[in-house]
Homo-oligomer: A and B are copies of this chain.
Amino acid sequence: MSSFDLESYLRTQVERVESLLRSRSEEQGTHVPARLLESMRYSLLAGGKRLRPVLCLAFGEAVLRQSQVSRVVEDCACALEYIHTYSLIHDDLPAMDDDDMRRGRPTNHKVYGEAMAILAGDALLTDAFALVAGGAEPVRGMLCRELAVGSGSVGMVGGQVLDIAEDRPARIDYLTRMHRLKTGALIRAACRMGVIAAGGDADALARADTYGEAVGLAFQIADDVLDVTGDAASMGKAVGADAAAGRFTFPAVLGLEESKQLAARKVAEAIAAVQPLEPRDGPLAALARYSVERRS
């Protein structure tokens, strides 16, 4: 077992992300119509694991070998959560998953109406790029590309389309491709952006890539497993919903045990990849384990 104090690390990092999200959305919000800003911040500041920004910061810190990172890394961390938040708002819409609750609160469209929820999502998506591009450092262009590739038609949105397709084959290759795009691509982008923003070299970038790909998949498998084994209180939403909706999940396709084993193999792959980047039992290894060992 790890001797790294993940709980305390996560508490510190999540607080840091919360504080960054509050201040960046306030700075950006000066000339934003009040109701739009309110709707954006309702979902942006609703808590959550903040996994993507935490991974981005962790890779930035690993490259710099210190917890102090540049404003560029911080902007990327926030932008990743803007993108994740917009995707949740749009996924919850009546035309998509039609969810009423998210993180124990009414979903954005339940509070602000569908039109505003669509627009708040569009604004968060667009403003994410304003954040990443919001400075003169030459690296910001490359970071915008990473974010766009991870979240656009060849990334997150593409995966969402594979998920809503009516003729989805219940096969492991389709399921894996779907999740590689739907959640994996943005998690991978988070890791890569942390390295790039901190000025890491090609070797560090390749390691972040392997780690992000593996953790992204492990995280999704764990999500599916939690939907079978978790309880509603820690999840903040109804459990068993995926299975009830007839959605195809890793446990449904592979069985529960084999799903857990696949997730464990991915975690081991991720940890091996980042070993040269941090001291033994550092935050990256701990975060990889956390991606499957969490309870929500």
Contact = CB atoms under 8 A, between A and B. Distances in A.
Contacts of A147: 129
Interface string A149-162: 10111100110111
A57 B26 CA distance: 35
A244 interface: no
Interface in A82-113: 86, 90, 93-96, 113
B157 A36 contact: yes
B127 A126 contact: no
A130 interface: yes
Contacts of A137: 141
B33 A162 contact: yes
A20 interface: no
A153 B123 contact: yes
Main secondary structure of the interface of A (DSSP, over half): helix
Interface residues of A, number: 56
Given A36-B161, A90-B122, A158-B36, A130 B152 contact: yes
Given A153-B29, A153-B126, A160 B119 contact: yes
A203 to B, nearest CB: 20
Nearest to A165: B35
B134 A118 contact: no
Given A33-B158, A35-B161, A125 B122 contact: yes
Contacts of A138: 138, 141
Interface in A233-265: none
B35 A153 contact: no
